[in-house]
Structure 1
Amino acid sequence: MTSDRFPSPARAELFAPRGPATPYRMTVTTALPHADAVALADQGLGAWLKQEGCEEPPPAVREPVGPDTPDAPDTPAERLRLGDRVLFDRDHGPLRGGPGTGRYHRRRLRTPAPHGTHQLTLTIATGAEGPTWVRLEAETHTTGSGVRTPCRVPVPELARTLLPLLDATDGPAAVHLSPQVLTAGQVGGLIDELCDPERRLPTVVASVPVNLGLDQWLADVVRPLCHQLPGLATAYVLDPGARTEFNVALEYHTVYGGAVRTYLPEVDPASRQDGARHPVLARQRIEEDIRRAAGLLAREPRRLAAEQPLPPPLAAVPVLRVAPPSGARADADRAAADARAELAALVREERQDRAEQQARADELELVRHSLRRERRRDRRRPAPGDEQAGARHGGAPVRGMTGRLCAGPGGAVLPTMPGGHSGPVGPAGSPSHWIDAPGTFTELMTRLGEFPLLSFTGDQKTTLALDGLQCAGASWARLTWDGLTALQEYAEAAVRGEAGGDFKQWCERTPAGCHRFPPRKAVRGESRTVFSHTKWKRERMLPVPECVDVSRRAFMGAHLRIGGGRTAPRLHYLDDCSGSGRIYVGYIGLHLTNTRTN
């Protein structure tokens, strides 16, 4: 098996000089029962692996597949080797939340890439009620900062296999591999799909130029244009009769002249302002460079797939846990005392890393929900002329030509938080992040003056480089801002002698009215292994003023976890509130070296 087949570089549509490739994420439903969906998915996965030159994984032994199967204790994933450097992990179990919440099955495939690893994860989850959810994620993890990689991971061939196999759907719409041609009599069903509140995927609608035939435009333009959309959007082509019917029904959301329009979820046909929310790709732009136009058309569906909150069953799937090698314990027994201590530290950090990954997944869901609430709130503000438009249509809910009721977008008003900030409320009643928090580390560095008791002494280049690395949009920057906000409030109390302990204790007992930072993400210091390792300790000897240490360096073991994983960012700081009355932030960047990253 060749290492470039997962996915093939020849299928990478656009290239960038540096940086990680944007992952592919598909989230759909199927009407099949959980057991049938798992069996068909395994069948399709096995056939695809065989086609790619890998060994087909053996059937799982007595693996429960029904959502009503009694919950089993948490067990690590089974790891199989299907070829040279090809790892296959599979696990199953109850969803987080206790007995009766549903079950999940997951398969993860890791294959070698020219400068890293390709990872493909398939998850099937079914809650106590509702449909079976299917999620397919494809990522490329590169090593080395100067490697040329595709700017986005291509649509996996497995996605093209599973969509028809599972009869995938998105709300009321079937998710097809290729665009579907609609006639005038089918326009009413399309409008119902656009206005359906359960729709999660964008809907791409293409028009046909008046001087070209439908079949020619479909074959030469629309199909190549939609090649990157399977699993990310549903696509339709309006024939001449359907185009007229559609544009009369949706006067603020029209598409014609060979243009292609992307309709995001929650279409409000009565709002002129909402019409501006759904991007249009003009015919001229398409014909100039159809390959580049295909990349532009896929950009919004990719963004939505990354920011859209997961449905509850998928959000309740625990992070993957892989058992350590069976010989690790025997090797440890034969090792010297220092080797056993090193192994124990590795095990502790493995558990800590797994907890961080779960915390990071939960935080990403909070960020996605917050972004969704913000956008809904913004869309509630009427634009000039919308009041008249609403009067013409007889109110906010609008009936189109077909007489169907089209629901407008929902919304949630964000409460005012202490200090005049507005923010989404988390489970504990505290904001998950401030609405005015910076969306990038570049903006964050320019606003450090808003924290008068914090001094940044580190290298700004290391921090600014995070803008080109983060895969979760603005979440890293927002989480860092959360940590700085809590440190500032702690410092204000500490210089008055009212903090009642260190920053960790402050997070565990945050006073009312103050910003709460998760205690599990506030770490007092590094492990003994890191402190006793000369090179690793040197990395954490960070700049401070001479008034703090005459050497202008101090060990900053205390840090905040900005994310989970081996390379996720950390913020290292020195609490000198009892001395100079300030906190010195010496580092904001990727995880420094330790037993997990070395």
Structure 2
Amino acid sequence: MTVTTALPHADAVALADQRLAAWLKHEGCEEPPPAAHRPVAAEAAEIPVERLRLGGRVLLDRDGGPLRGGPGAGRYDRRRLRTPAPHGTHQLTLTMATGAEGPTWVRLEAETHTTGSGVRTPCRVPVPELACGLLPLLDAADGPAAVQLAPRVLTAAEVDGLIDELCDPERRLPTVVASVPVNHALDAWVEDVVRPLCRQLPGLATVYVLDPGARTEFNVALEYHTVYGGAVRTYLPEVDPASRQDGARHPVLARHRIEEDLRRAAGLLAREPRRLAAEQPLPPPLAAVPVLRVPAPGVRADSGPDDACARAALAHEEQQDHAEQQARADELERVRHSLRRERRQGRRPALPGDEPSGGPAAGLRRGVQPRGLAGRLCIGPGGASGRRSAGSGPSGRPGAPGLPVAPGTFTELMARLGEFPLLTFTGDQKSALALDDLRCTGAGWARLTWDGLTALQEYAEAAVRGQAGGDFKQWCEHTPAGCHRFPPRKAVRGESRTVFSHTKWKRERMLPVPECVDVSRRAFMGAHLRIGGGRTAPRLHYLDDCSGSGRIYVGYIGLHLTNTRTN
């Protein structure tokens, strides 16, 4: 969840620490000691990471310091808690960041990391109890809306305020609006249906229930975004109430789906808010928080001179790991911005010539608004009308008209591999399709994989003509003008000597190829593209045979194959 609080930064951190300590005590863990007090003059100084073991396998990491961006950019405090799970580890990361101006941002991330035991933990992580405790304590808000735990019932007099919230450009969270069936008691419907239906939404959405009078006023004002008859509708950010086309963007959960299986309906309702929470770009203060840097266990300080080299090597490796983690975090943020641009481009308002005169959008082009909205202005991302530049292409990349839209899933990606005539996939699709189960980052991985395949195709076209000027790594470092650029640091020429000399690890990378490439129908594919980071670290392994058969063979797309780190 990502919310704001009007509390000063220090007060928000103190309240969060108190709540975290109380929750740990309730769970039977040791209470952490109070965090070190920072004098005002030292607030701009970085706090070294403090690792606390609170009994058993419970670890608490605390750090803080200035935001990236230089003096005066703001400051942050972070708490990361790891607790044992049946088949892995639960992890909670609480980050509070305050920029030079503006409110204090609070972000809580809940994850489950599985072990290599082969047992899969469900992807959906429950809403942490810590989130439910923090929301009222911090008076959490999302733009103009208060983020509350329980659904709030609205009357007709409060409908204008709700519509203003829906249209507010600062709103980040979805707004869930529930209606009450005719001839049903309002209180009973809220208690028996709406509350259990929204049990997975605390911190991820704001929830309102329209009483009969409010329902009428709301549906008259928003004729393209109505909700009634016991249905529940999720209004995503950037609502355009004057657009019939925009109305299709906000999903409706029908009453019969709710009454058939309330528990399943609750999961369906939470799907879009969870997706949005994972894929939406971070606000600038949170995006400027550096990645957590926990020092690796070092060599003893009283060790001999031979170990001094080991300490230096360990420090260098730790610095490289930190830089790579920061690069991955920054790249994930760029992917989030790219996703948002693609979605905004996909719902571009109709331009003159897009549709014959008299079509559904004709009234919008003439400036006609639905009844009940006269004088109400919704500021969109592209200006007063939300209209985007005509130079943006259908792919969502500005200035790239005509390029295909990148797939959002690996299922779609595998079905579209035929769009790369000089690439041949020879591996098992299951390893690639399994990445779709990792919902929080799978869409970004699919798009990055598509970018890599696009660059490989362009390289292959040049290589078969003898115009590539080197291998794919060199192509990425010196991409010709007009070609798709893939980050050079993500293009790896081959595996390490350790991997190549390890029989089992090398066998994993002996991937299928046609008989014309190798009579054994197997070839070592050490060259690969880095698709993601962390323990899962997806990879795309390929064999460049442009000088032989004139093709590139992709033998594997999936989670990182075994090496010294994944082992």
TM-score (ref. length: structure 2): 0.89
Pairing 1:265–2:237 present: yes
Indicate conservation of the 8 Å contact 1:208/1:238, yes or no.
yes
In 1, the alpha carbon distance for the partners of 2:19 and 2:75 equals: 21
Pairing 1:234–2:206 present: yes
Indicate conservation of the 8 Å contact 1:423/1:435, yes or no.
no
1:375 aligns with 343
1:412 aligns with 388
Is there any run of 5+ residues in structure 1 with no aligned partner, and where?
1-25
Q: Give the partner amino acid of 2:465.
A: R
In 1, the alpha carbon distance for the partners of 2:538 and 2:373 equals: 53
In 1, the alpha carbon distance for the partners of 2:25 and 2:553 equals: 55
Further displaced range: 564-573 or 461-470: 461-470
Deviation digits for residues 483-524 of structure 1, max 9, x if unmatched?
122122222323333323322222111111111000111112
Please report how far the alpha carbon of residue 255 of structure 1 lies from its aligned counterpart in structure 2 after TM superposition: 2.1
Match for residue 55 of structure 1 among 30, 48, 51: 30
2:125 aligns with 153
Please report how far the alpha carbon of residue 460 of structure 1 lies from its aligned counterpart in structure 2 after TM superposition: 2.9
Further displaced range: 362-371 or 26-35: 362-371
SS across alignment from 1:525: coil
Is there any run of 5+ residues in structure 2 with no aligned partner, and where?
none
The verdict on how the C-alpha distance between 1:208 and 1:495 changes in structure 2, with shifts beyond 3 A counting, is closer
Match for residue 397 of structure 2 among 409, 424, 430: 424
The verdict on how the C-alpha distance between 1:264 and 1:50 changes in structure 2, with shifts beyond 3 A counting, is same
1:452 aligns with 421
Indicate conservation of the 8 Å contact 1:349/1:596, yes or no.
no
Percentage of identical aligned residues: 81
Indicate conservation of the 8 Å contact 1:353/1:565, yes or no.
no
1:124 aligns with 96
Indicate conservation of the 8 Å contact 1:423/1:434, yes or no.
no
1:14 aligns with none
In 1, the alpha carbon distance for the partners of 2:373 and 2:226 equals: 14
Match for residue 185 of structure 2 among 207, 210, 213: 213
SS across alignment from 2:495: coil
2:166 aligns with 194
Match for residue 436 of structure 1 among 405, 418, 426: 405
Match for residue 70 of structure 1 among 44, 61, 84: 44
Pairing 1:498–2:471 present: no
The verdict on how the C-alpha distance between 1:224 and 1:445 changes in structure 2, with shifts beyond 3 A counting, is closer
Match for residue 302 of structure 1 among 269, 274, 299: 274
Match for residue 529 of structure 2 among 556, 560, 565: 560
Further displaced range: 453-462 or 31-40: 453-462
Q: Give the partner amino acid of 1:494.
A: A
Query: Within 5 A, what are the aligned runs for 1:245-260?
Result: 245-260=217-232
Which one scores higher on RCO, CA 8 angstroms, separation ≥ 6?
1
Q: Give the partner amino acid of 2:348.
A: R
2:16 aligns with 41
In 2, the alpha carbon distance for the partners of 1:356 and 1:594 equals: 17
In 1, the alpha carbon distance for the partners of 2:364 and 2:550 equals: 58
Question: How many residue pairs align between the two structures?
Answer: 556
In 2, the alpha carbon distance for the partners of 1:189 and 1:512 equals: 51
The verdict on how the C-alpha distance between 1:435 and 1:546 changes in structure 2, with shifts beyond 3 A counting, is closer
Please report how far the alpha carbon of residue 399 of structure 1 lies from its aligned counterpart in structure 2 after TM superposition: 8.4
Q: Give the partner amino acid of 1:562.
A: I
Match for residue 508 of structure 1 among 456, 477, 483: 477
Pairing 1:357–2:325 present: yes
Pairing 1:102–2:71 present: no
The verdict on how the C-alpha distance between 1:355 and 1:584 changes in structure 2, with shifts beyond 3 A counting, is farther
In 1, the alpha carbon distance for the partners of 2:516 and 2:373 equals: 75
In 1, the alpha carbon distance for the partners of 2:35 and 2:163 equals: 44
Deviation digits for residues 303-345 of structure 1, max 9, x if unmatched?
221221111111122222211124478789889x9xx69x95x
SS across alignment from 1:83: coil
Query: Within 5 A, what are the aligned runs for 1:77-96?
Result: 77-96=49-68
Match for residue 246 of structure 2 among 250, 274, 284: 274
Query: Within 5 A, what are the aligned runs for 1:507-526?
Result: 507-526=476-495
Q: Give the partner amino acid of 1:572.
A: H
1:577 aligns with 546
Please report how far the alpha carbon of residue 118 of structure 1 lies from its aligned counterpart in structure 2 after TM superposition: 0.8
Deviation digits for residues 339-379 of structure 1, max 9, x if unmatched?
x69x95x8776555544433333233223222222222232
Q: Give the partner amino acid of 1:510.
A: T
Indicate conservation of the 8 Å contact 1:268/1:274, yes or no.
yes
The verdict on how the C-alpha distance between 1:128 and 1:469 changes in structure 2, with shifts beyond 3 A counting, is same
In 2, the alpha carbon distance for the partners of 1:300 and 1:287 equals: 20
For the aligned residue pairs, the C-alpha RMSD in angstroms reads 3.2
Deviation digits for residues 364-415 of structure 1, max 9, x if unmatched?
3223222222222232344842333675xx546x784695434456253474
Please report how far the alpha carbon of residue 438 of structure 1 lies from its aligned counterpart in structure 2 after TM superposition: 2.5
In 1, the alpha carbon distance for the partners of 2:529 and 2:64 equals: 32
SS across alignment from 1:298: helix
Please report how far the alpha carbon of residue 197 of structure 1 lies from its aligned counterpart in structure 2 after TM superposition: 0.8
In 1, the alpha carbon distance for the partners of 2:561 and 2:317 equals: 14
Q: Give the partner amino acid of 2:211.
A: D
Match for residue 110 of structure 2 among 138, 142, 156: 138
Deviation digits for residues 60-117 of structure 1, max 9, x if unmatched?
2344789x93344xx7632211121111112212222333222211111111111111
In 2, the alpha carbon distance for the partners of 1:540 and 1:348 equals: 29
Deviation digits for residues 121-144 of structure 1, max 9, x if unmatched?
111111222211111011112235
In 1, the alpha carbon distance for the partners of 2:37 and 2:82 equals: 24
In 2, the alpha carbon distance for the partners of 1:542 and 1:328 equals: 43
In 2, the alpha carbon distance for the partners of 1:439 and 1:406 equals: 29
SS across alignment from 1:465: helix
In 2, the alpha carbon distance for the partners of 1:266 and 1:224 equals: 27
The verdict on how the C-alpha distance between 1:149 and 1:557 changes in structure 2, with shifts beyond 3 A counting, is closer
Indicate conservation of the 8 Å contact 1:195/1:267, yes or no.
yes
Further displaced range: 136-145 or 80-89: 136-145
Match for residue 182 of structure 1 among 145, 154, 160: 154
Q: Give the partner amino acid of 2:97.
A: A
Please report how far the alpha carbon of residue 535 of structure 1 lies from its aligned counterpart in structure 2 after TM superposition: 2.4
Q: Give the partner amino acid of 1:367.
A: V
1:9 aligns with none
SS across alignment from 2:441: coil
Indicate conservation of the 8 Å contact 1:440/1:467, yes or no.
yes
1:10 aligns with none
2:265 aligns with 293
Further displaced range: 542-551 or 149-158: 542-551
Please report how far the alpha carbon of residue 226 of structure 1 lies from its aligned counterpart in structure 2 after TM superposition: 1.7
1:475 aligns with 444
In 1, the alpha carbon distance for the partners of 2:304 and 2:173 equals: 50
SS across alignment from 2:484: coil
Please report how far the alpha carbon of residue 423 of structure 1 lies from its aligned counterpart in structure 2 after TM superposition: 4.2
1:13 aligns with none
Further displaced range: 487-496 or 159-168: 487-496
Deviation digits for residues 170-203 of structure 1, max 9, x if unmatched?
0001111101122222222111111111111111
Please report how far the alpha carbon of residue 148 of structure 1 lies from its aligned counterpart in structure 2 after TM superposition: 5.7
SS across alignment from 2:202: coil
The verdict on how the C-alpha distance between 1:309 and 1:416 changes in structure 2, with shifts beyond 3 A counting, is closer
In 2, the alpha carbon distance for the partners of 1:312 and 1:414 equals: 27
Q: Give the partner amino acid of 1:135.
A: R
In 1, the alpha carbon distance for the partners of 2:329 and 2:204 equals: 21
SS across alignment from 1:265: coil
Query: Within 5 A, what are the aligned runs for 1:533-552?
Result: 533-552=502-521
SS across alignment from 2:558: strand
Please report how far the alpha carbon of residue 217 of structure 1 lies from its aligned counterpart in structure 2 after TM superposition: 2.0
2:431 aligns with 462
Deviation digits for residues 243-283 of structure 1, max 9, x if unmatched?
22222222222222222222111122222222222222233
